[in-house]
Amino acid sequence: MKIFKNLNFTLLTILSILILPGIFYGIIALFGKNDIFGANNYIPWTILIATYTFFVSSIGCCFVGSLNNVFGIKKYAIIETKAIFLAIIIVLTGMAVIFVELGQPFRIFVQYVINPHITSPIWWMGVNYSIYLIFIILEFVFIISNRAHFARLAGIFAFIAAVAAHSTVGSVFGVMTSKPLWYGPYLPIDFILCAWLIGFSIMILITSILNDKNYSSLINEMSKWLIVLLFLNLFFIFWKVITGLYSGEEDKYFGILALINGPISFKFWVFEIILGIFIPVILLSKKIKTRFIFIISTLLAIVGMFVNKLNMVHSGQIIPLEIRRPEQFEFIKINITLPEISIITAAIVFVILSYYVAEKIEILKPKEE
Amino acid sequence: MNNLIEKNIDRKEFLKIAGTGLSLFMLESLLTKVNADEILNNINKSVKRYAMVIDLRRCIGCEACTIACKIENNTPLNYSFNKEKNITWNEVIFKESGNYPDTKKRFWPRPCQHCENPPCVKVCPVNATYQDKERGLVLQHYDRCIGCKSCAVACPYGARYFNWTEPKWAEERKGAFNPDVELRYKGIIEKCTFCIHRIKKAELKAKQEEREIKDGEIIPACNLTCMGKARFFGDLNDKESIVSKLIKENSDRVYVLEEHFGTKPKVFYLKS
């Protein structure tokens, strides 16, 4: 908590100001027009969809938070409240991002209820996340009010709902038969792996910033898990690339080519692989690890995961539809606009500010047994 | 890479070209020959199964169908600078192939394929897009659409269009809209309906006159304007309809677009 008390008002003001452009563009998108974003009819889903999938991957904080409450691993109790709080606030922020991205977002509240479509993963995603939010908020309330039994019960349901909800996000892409790079059971599984990875990264980052000696052994343990998860992620990416290169489906093959040797290859190799996986693994494998190393390596892993989602969304759609593909085709141009960057910045800053306030009012302190 | 092997393209060279964002494709892979008997034998007389047949031998690529569709269905003005955001329910796809002087230019009109197994319908979370079982059409409830664009992502034909902003029309168009077609607005998806308003009008007229709809009574705007008479519309469940006859009589050249997605499209191309 010391670190937050040392934060000065100027820094807080700057952070608050950073939210304003995002709010401004969010309002324009909600009530004005959607063409402030880089998406178009050739590539309907772009960076805001990637941002949403990244933010809701923070469901991994719920996984980490459940290690004590659900699986009985006691040492995780000291970060439980922080993890659960972050799992709530980041998922809600992600939902705010997707809300802004939708064409007619206010219709969701009515249409989801009166016209449900059970074959649609997006409908299930909404339902599962709603259930998840109910249980995880209950879990949080029970934890801070010291009602351990109810907290455990709510935690179990929140964990089940979290797995269901987040794998459904993967299935939103996984059921797209017209996008061979996405289609199949890989993405729902991959999304769960990424959620664990992001969950551990965020919790190591937060506990390292807080710089409390009570966390040091837990940080070490979590960093070992993070190394395993980073390797698993690399393993998944490796086989995705190899199987894609052997694919007879042109969309899949060229999607992978775009990733490894095309317009998104820089983001893939530099941000997703080198900075997002190799550097954190190297740093975290050192025998003597400083607080700085933990902060840098987890920040890089988080950035790597964001770029992973971005590349996933883009590589699936970067090949022009076969019907529109001329004899000599070019990959579809990806546009990232200032409003999109402003909204993403606002979302990140909002999460930081929310966490700061929560720490300041001391609701995230670990509870006594 | 079966297709590529067929095309005799060296894999190494292919990788090199593709790596820079360019590749070679044959046009023919898009169109797949279908079994006419399979299409015509699966008949359920209690419902309609409206389909379109486009004779590519007669199509001259004039794009009159595109314009007629825009006027008929009140779709907004196209951007000249941002074609990716244009709304063109009936696009004519042009493909050029070969190297000078052995070049070819081919084209085929692409309305919504009104698939029998539509991927767009399955992914819509709020039933905004749905399959009209009585007519075999894929239609849209504009007032339900939340603008998630998942149907646009799911459609392998690029036949779904999002309204990225409030639609704009030329000044001359205002006051001259087709009153039978609802105007759309920002934030929703729209697509070809096979001129559902014309179908409904014909149905109403037939009902009032207490008779069945006659073959050829329903003519979508794109068919009406086609100067080469390349387009035909009718009910596949009626063996005597023009579309059924054309498919039967030209069974050796009946093709559909991108059959490998398993969408069972109902726009049939008679290959030239």
Q: Which of B97, B108, B123 has the highest number of chain A CBs within 10 A, making it the mutation to test binding with A?
A: B123
Q: Is the pLDDT of residue A15 over 90?
A: no
Provide the token pair at A107. Answer: 């219709």
Specify the pTM: 0.90
Reduced to 3 states, what is the DSSP secondary structure of residue B50? strand
Chain A residues in contact with B15 by the CB 8 A cut-off are 257, 261
Do the beta carbons of residue B103 and residue B96 sit within 8 Å? yes
The answer to whether A163 and A192 have CB atoms below 8 angstroms apart is yes
Helix or strand (DSSP H, E) at B16: helix B11-19
Q: Which residue has the tokens 């093709």?
A: B255
φ and ψ at residue A236, rounded to 5 degrees: -60, -45
Q: Which residue of A has its CA nearest to B188?
A: A103
Q: Which of A47, A105, A79 is nearest to A208 (CA)?
A: A79
Cα Rg of chain A (Å, integer): 21
Distance CA(B208)–CA(B197), nearest Å, equals 16
Give the pLDDT band of residue B28 (cuts 50, 70, 90). low
- Given a cut of 60, is residue A1 above it in pLDDT? no
Distance in angstroms between the alpha carbons of the first and the last residue of chain B: 27
Which CA distances in Å does A191 have to A134, A167, A307, B196?
Answer: 21, 6, 14, 41
Task: Label residue B1 by pLDDT band (50, 70, 90).
Answer: very low
| Residue contact A104–B165, C-beta within 8 A | no
Tokens of B105: 């230019």
Find, in chain B, the residue whose alpha carbon is nearest to that of A33: B165
Partner residue facing B25 (CB), from A39, A42, A325: A325
Q: How far is A352 from chain B (nearest CA, A)?
A: 28
Interface mutation target, options A31, A43, A117, chain B, most CBs of B under 10 Å: A117
Position A195 scores a pLDDT of: 96
Cβ distance of A119 and B29 shorter than 8 Å = no
In which band, very low, low, confident or very high, does the pLDDT at B80 lie, cut at 50, 70 and 90?
Answer: low
Q: What is the CA radius of gyration of chain B?
A: 20
Across the interface, of A33, A111, A257, the residue whose CB is closest to B144 is A111
**pLDDT greater at residue A332 or residue B18:** A332
B201 pLDDT higher than 60: yes
**Residue B110 carries which DSSP code?**
E
pLDDT at B12 over 80: no
Q: What's the confidence (pLDDT) of residue B37?
A: 84
Give B227-257 pLDDT, tens digit per residue.
Answer: 999 999 999 999 999 999 999 999 999 999 9
- Alpha-carbon span B21 to A140, nearest angstrom: 50
Confidence band, pLDDT 50/70/90 cuts, at residue A4: low
Residue A277 and residue B21: Cα distance in Å, rounded? Answer: 27
Looking at beta carbons, which residues of chain A come within 8 Å of B87? 41
Distances (CA, A) of B162 to A53, A120, A260, B216: 22, 19, 31, 32
pLDDT of B17 strictly over 70: no
- Across chain B, which distance is largest between two alpha carbons, in Å? 67
Question: Tens digits of per-residue pLDDT, A322-369?
Answer: 777 776 778 889 999 999 999 999 999 999 999 988 888 777 776 554
Chain B closest-CA separation from residue A328 CA (Å): 5
Average predicted confidence (pLDDT) for chain A: 91
For an interface test with A, give the residue of B77, B88, B148, B185 to mutate (most A CBs within 10 A): B148
- How is residue B157 written in tokens? 């034909």
Q: Do A126 and B149 touch (CB under 8 A)?
A: no
Residue keyed to tokens 């023009």: B242
Contact between B158 and A321 using a beta-carbon 8 Å cutoff: yes
The ipTM is: 0.91
